[in-house]
Amino acid sequence: MTAAESPRRRPGRPSRTDSPDGPSTRERILTAARTEFAERGYDKASIRGIAKRAEVDPALVHHYFGPKEQVFESALEDAAQPALSIPDVMLSGPLDGAGERLTRFMFGVWENAFTREPLLAVIRSAMNNETAAAIFRRMVVRNVLKRVAPQLPGPNAELRAELAVAQLVGTAMLRYIIKVEPLASADVEELIRRLAPVVQHHLTDPPA
């Protein structure tokens, strides 16, 4: 597959398995974009830099994804693909098991370097740049919060869903990025056992 491959106007989701020819041009550009955003920061990242990393013409990057903000959004959407299934996971059974389902699902995504690294790269970008944070925020709210919160009982459901996520995201940050012990080496099942009740508490127990 080469840079001359005819670009599609509205490309579908990239296939998860590599074809015999290796990753598609679209996937190569998205991977290059994540590296560029992570290493250079959102402000200094450029279409030209992404194109260079992906070994394609800058015009092709623009043709596939549009301007920088949209390249970032696509890279984010792709990296966050697993997170986008959170609503389905949470709502796939009785509410009193939602805390454990969500906790178990998140560790499933994070324990696999293949799904973890793109997500971490995007979180780093969002932490370092206001534009990137705004894009991240909009996606989380639109795709996760607005779908999950209406299913939760009690007042302030959106806030409580965010506090549940805060427990999980904070754990991921300390375990996978800062790598503080003993958390970094703790057994996943023990973590799920300890965290699921807290996540459940936020989701379904509306005190205060």
Q: Among residues 7 and 99, whose Cβ is nearest to a copy of itself? A: 99
Q: Which residues in 29-126 belong to E strands, given as ranges?
A: none
Q: Among residues 3 and 133, whose Cβ is nearest to a copy of itself? A: 133
Task: Summarize as ranges the residues that interact with a copy of itself (CB under 8 A).
Answer: 41, 124, 126-128, 133, 136-137, 140-141, 145, 156, 158-160, 162-163, 165-171, 173-174, 177-183, 186, 190-191, 193-195, 197-198, 201-202, 207-208
Structural Rg of the chain based on CA atoms: 19
Distance from C-alpha of 167 to C-alpha of 200, rounded to nearest angstrom: 11
My answer on whether omega of the bond before 182 falls inside 30° of 0, hence cis, is: yes
Q: Among residues 91 and 177, whose Cβ is nearest to a copy of itself? A: 177
Q: Among residues 91 and 166, whose Cβ is nearest to a copy of itself? A: 166
Burial of 47 (0-12, 13-18, 19+ CB in 10 A): buried
Helix (H), strand (E) at residue 195: helix 188-204
Residue 25 and residue 5 in contact, taking contact as beta carbons nearer than 8 Å: yes
Distance from C-alpha of 33 to C-alpha of 65, rounded to nearest angstrom: 11
**Structure letter (DSSP) for residue 206:** -
Q: Among residues 59 and 113, whose Cβ is nearest to a copy of itself? A: 113
* CB neighbour list of residue 169: distance below 8 Å, 6 or more residues apart: none
